[in-house]
């Protein structure tokens, strides 16, 4: 089955899940994608390999059982099994095999790879599913060789290529489908073209300019997870479009194998969420810009934010499920105001420094007094674009509060 048709059928199945339970989340979707028929365990298939363990070990092949699969490790030409085979970032192929063919076909592929000294990890799941067999490779040339062998000698076209990284392909797919379903609202409208457009418009096009927004929205815990998420989003899109080549996979693998980075600590998470709030404001402005009935988009933004903060009514936010979800679930209502105030203070300090540097103390005092009394910031300089930034972040009402709480009365009036 080709990837486009497979995805179309999957979206139909997930639509039915949502119709049954509108609270379906990405864990439910993930479990559906990875559903295993618990009545069909593969102990007999695995035991056939395990009974031949001594013969395999003479060849330098290791057989190691795992709580989820049986792992068969094949050595390189030096009869050495590289530790890198355990690496999450290796390229894989998945084979969908009939239950009665798993042992026979697996034995043939393993023998083929052994004779050609292809270092690899061959796994057979404990329970039968559509990805019952996976093979991890270090070298993309070896992967290409095995695919050609399977296509010609095994005559199977049930092969898919993947690259997990620190996040798994199916986890990322589940998160994307969850957001896509919430975005379209009507589950009957789910289709692969819409899914591709969603990935392009709501993830890949935001990759650099809305990084923190994506990190917060998809609950990513490190820069490494973020890179993995973007790469896998590209792979999912390419799979649907039938554009995933080995050359592309190699390029993606290099990106995903960038140096390891620590997980975000509490301070990192706060900074990410704060910057995500700033990026949310831009997204909201873009939405209002497209509405021809709105004359002043910044005024509309400020009006809705103030009403939202006063009433905690999410209907004041644009009808964009990602925006409402990220504030409600990831940032929270109380933190949203705190982050806007903090962003406003940071930008106000920059504006004050710029104004003092360009015009001196007296002009700065006049600008602060005017902003405090009327909310007008035109007396500040717009050097470095910081005044424009301040005008987006803080509604006049909040600006007055920030100035009042930040600067002593005598500083402004002296």
Q: What is the pLDDT of residues 130-176, one digit of tens each?
A: 788 999 998 888 988 999 999 888 876 578 887 766 788 888 999 99
Q: What is the pLDDT of residue 385?
A: 93
How far from 345 is each of 351, 352, 404, CA to CA, in Å?
10, 10, 11
Do strands 91-95 and 133-137 pair parallel, antiparallel, or not at all (unpaired)? antiparallel
- Ranges in the chain, pLDDT < 70: 1-3, 37-38, 83-89, 156-157, 164-165, 257-262, 321, 408-414
Secondary structure class of 345 (helix, strand, coil): helix
Which residues are CB-contacts of 127 (< 8 A; sequence separation ≥ 6)?
36, 37, 38, 40, 41, 42
Q: List phi, psi (to 5°) of 12.
A: -60, -40
Question: pTM for the whole thing?
Answer: 0.73
Residues 6+ positions from 38 with CB-CB distance below 8 Å: 127
Q: What whole-number distance in Å separates Cα of residue 234 and Cα of residue 236?
A: 5
Q: Which two tokens stand for residue 119?
A: 């270092």
Q: Are 44 and 58 in contact (CB under 8 A)?
A: no
The residue behind tokens 């057989």 is 63
Rounded Cα–Cα distance for residues 205 and 211 (Å): 10
Dihedral of CA atoms 218, 137, 143, 204 in degrees, nearest 10, equals 20
Closest C-alpha to 369, from 356, 382, 380: 380
Q: Is 254 helix (H, G, I), strand (E, B) or coil?
A: helix
- Regarding beta strands 69-74 and 120-125, do their DSSP bridges make them parallel or antiparallel, or are they unpaired? antiparallel
Give the pLDDT score at 55. 92
- In sign, the C-alpha dihedral spanning 141, 147, 150, 152 is negative
pLDDT for position 104: 93
Question: Could you give the CA distance from residue 178 to residue 31 in angstroms, rounded to a whole number?
Answer: 13
Q: Enumerate the domain spans of the chain.
A: 3-33+170-252, 38-163, 265-414
**Beta pairing class for 62-65 and 127-128:** unpaired
pLDDT value, residue 410: 43
Instruction: For 74-105, write each residue's pLDDT tens digit.
Output: 998 877 777 666 666 678 888 888 888 999 99
Q: Closest by alpha carbon to 401, among 341, 349, 346, 348?
A: 341
- Backbone phi and psi for residue 159, each to the nearest 5 degrees, phi listed first: -120, 135
Angle at 229 between CA 330 and CA 174, to 5 degrees: 70
Lay out the sheet containing 120-125: strands in order across.
62-65, 69-74, 120-125, 133-137, 91-95, 159-163
Q: What end-to-end distance do the CA atoms of the chain give, in Å?
A: 77
Q: Burial level of 102, CB count in 10 A (0-12/13-18/19+)?
A: buried
Task: Name the one residue in this structure whose structure tokens are 């949203």.
Answer: 336
């Amino acid at each position: 089955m080709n990837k486009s048709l497979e995805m179309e059928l999957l979206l139909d199945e997930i639509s039915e899940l949502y119709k049954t339970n509108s609270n379906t989340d990405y864990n439910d979707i993930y479990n559906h994608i990875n559903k295993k028929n618990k009545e069909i365990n593969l102990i007999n298939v695995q035991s056939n390999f395990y009974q031949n363990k001594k013969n395999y070990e003479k060849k330098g092949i290791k057989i190691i059982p795992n709580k989820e699969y049986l792992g068969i490790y094949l050595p390189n030409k030096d009869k050495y099994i590289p530790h890198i085979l355990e690496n999450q970032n290796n390229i894989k192929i998945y084979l969908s095999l009939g239950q009665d063919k798993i042992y026979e076909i697996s034995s043939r592929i393993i023998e083929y790879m052994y004779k050609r000294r292809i270092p690899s990890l061959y796994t057979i799941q404990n329970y039968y599913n559509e990805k019952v067999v996976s093979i991890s490779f270090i070298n993309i040339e070896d992967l290409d060789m095995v695919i050609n062998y399977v296509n010609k000698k095994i005559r199977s076209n049930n092969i898919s290529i993947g690259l997990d990284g620190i996040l798994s392909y199916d986890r990322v797919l589940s998160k994307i489908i969850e957001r896509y379903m919430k975005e379209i609202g009507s589950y009957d409208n789910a289709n692969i073209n819409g899914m591709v457009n969603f990935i392009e418009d709501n993830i890949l096009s935001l990759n650099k300019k809305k990084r923190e927004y994506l990190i917060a929205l998809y609950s990513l815990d490190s820069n490494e997870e973020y890179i993995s998420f973007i790469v896998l989003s590209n792979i999912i899109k390419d799979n649907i479009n039938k554009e995933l080549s080995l050359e592309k996979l190699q390029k993606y693998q290099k990106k995903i194998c960038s140096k390891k980075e620590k997980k975000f600590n509490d301070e990192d998470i706060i900074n990410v969420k704060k910057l995500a709030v700033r990026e949310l404001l831009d997204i909201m402005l873009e939405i209002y810009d497209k509405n021809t009935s709105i004359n002043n988009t910044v005024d509309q933004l400020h009006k809705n934010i103030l009403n939202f903060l006063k009433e905690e009514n999410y209907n004041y936010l644009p009808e964009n499920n990602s925006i409402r979800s990220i504030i409600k679930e990831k940032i929270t209502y109380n933190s949203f105001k705190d982050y806007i105030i903090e962003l406003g203070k940071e930008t106000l300090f920059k504006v004050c420094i710029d104004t003092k540097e360009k015009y001196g103390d007296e002009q700065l005092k006049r600008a602060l007094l005017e902003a405090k009394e009327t909310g007008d910031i035109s007396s500040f300089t717009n050097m470095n674009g910081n005044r424009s930034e301040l005008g987006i972040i803080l509604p006049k009402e909040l600006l007055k509060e920030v100035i009042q709480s930040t600067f002593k009365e005598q500083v402004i009036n002296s």
